[in-house]
Amino acid sequence: MTRIGSDTSSPAVSAAAPALLSVRDLDVRYGAICALQGVSLNINPGEIVTLIGSNGAGKTTLLRTISGLLKPANGEITLLPTSPSPHPPTALSKLRPHEIVRLGISHVPEGRQIFPNLTVSENLLLGAYQRRDDLSADIARCHTLFPILKERQSQKAGTLSGGEQQMLAIARALMSRPRLLLLDEPSLGLAPLIVRKIFDIIREINAEGTTIFLVEQNAHLALKIAHRAYVLQTGRILMTDSAQALLANPEVQKAYLGG
C-alpha cells in the first residue's frame, strides 16, 4: 500500500547503469511513530541528488538510517560495491556505522557536530579514522578547498564560526575519501553569502567525482545545484523529477519555494 505512492512517482531509473545507492521500501520507526514509510530512491554514480522537505518530514531520519545509526523496520538499502560486476550490491542495514564508513559513505550530520574540544587538525584526523595510509594529500586537499582550516588548524574547533564549522564538518567527511557524501542541511543557520560559498564547494567536490546526496529545507538553493530531486512529506516520497523540472513545478513552488 505504501508502495503505490512512491512507485507511481518514481521515474524509470536508467536500467543500464546500476545505482550507487539504492533505497527500497524503507520503513523507519521511533517506537510507535512511523518516521519513514515505504521510501524508495536511487542515487546514481556522479550525481548530486537532493531531498527536500519541510521540518519533521523525516530527512534526517533517512540519512541516519543510511549511515547505520538507525535500523529500518522494513526495507533495504544497498550500495554498489567498489569492484565491478561479479559482486552483488552490499546490503547496509545489517552493518554497523563504522563498517558503512569503510564502504565509502560519509555523513555530514545536521548541526555540523564538529568536536569542539578537539583541534581542527584532530577533527580532520578523526574523519580519516578508518584509514591507515598516508593522509597528507587529503589534508592538503581540505586546506585547498577551505583555506581557513589551514589557518585555524591548531585551534580548538569550538572557537570556529558557524560557517567555518560547517566547512570543517564537510572537510572532515572528505577525509575518509567517500564515494557517497551525505549532507544534512548544510545551510542551516548560516548567512546567505557563506551558504553560497559552501554550495559552490559542494558542486566542486561533485565535479571531482564524489556522488552527493544533499538534504535541504532550503529547496531553492538545493534544486539549483542538484541534478535530480525527491520531495519528502511526512515520511513518504511525494514526487521525484529532475531538479530543473521541480524548480518549475507550481506545486513545489507553492509548498517549498515560497510562492
Helix (H, G, I), strand (E, B) or coil at 112: coil
Exposure on the CB side of residue 231, measured as CA atoms within 13 A: 22
Residue with cell 523540472: 245
- β-strands 180-184, 105-108: how paired? parallel
Q: Give the distance from CA 175 to its chain's centroid.
A: 15
| Phi/psi at 223 (5° precision) | -65, -25
Instruction: Pick between residue 19 and residue 36 the one whose CB is nearest to Mg ion.
Output: 36
Work out which of 2, 44, 60, 65 binds Mg ion, going by CB under 5 A: 60
Site string for other proteins, 58-87 (x = CB under 8 A): ------x--xxx------------------
Instruction: Pick between residue 37 and residue 61 the one whose CB is nearest to other proteins.
Output: 61
Residue 53 site contact among other proteins, ligand ADP, Mg ion, none (CB < 5 to 8 Å, cut-off depends on kind): ligand ADP
143 counts as binding other proteins under rule CB under 8 A: no
CB of 119 to Mg ion, least distance (A): 28
Residue 78 site contact among ligand ADP, other proteins, Mg ion, none (CB < 5 to 8 Å, cut-off depends on kind): none
What residues from 57 to 116 belong to the interface with ligand ADP (CB under 6 A)? 57-61
102 counts as binding other proteins under rule CB under 8 A: yes
186 counts as binding ligand ADP under rule CB under 6 A: no
Q: How far apart are CA 60 and CA 46, in angstroms?
A: 22
What residues from 211 to 240 belong to the interface with other proteins (CB under 8 A)? none
CB count within 10 Å of CB 108 equals 27
Rg of the chain, C-alpha, whole Å:
18
Residue 75 site contact among Mg ion, ligand ADP, other proteins, none (CB < 5 to 8 Å, cut-off depends on kind): none
Residue 26 grid coordinates:
524503507
- β-strands 228-233, 211-216: how paired? unpaired
Work out which of 59, 172, 179, 236 binds other proteins, going by CB under 8 A: 172
For 126-144, b where at least 16 C-beta lie within 10 A, e where not — what string?
ebbeeeeeebeebbebbbe
Q: Give the footprint of Mg ion on this chain (CB under 5 A).
A: 59-60, 110
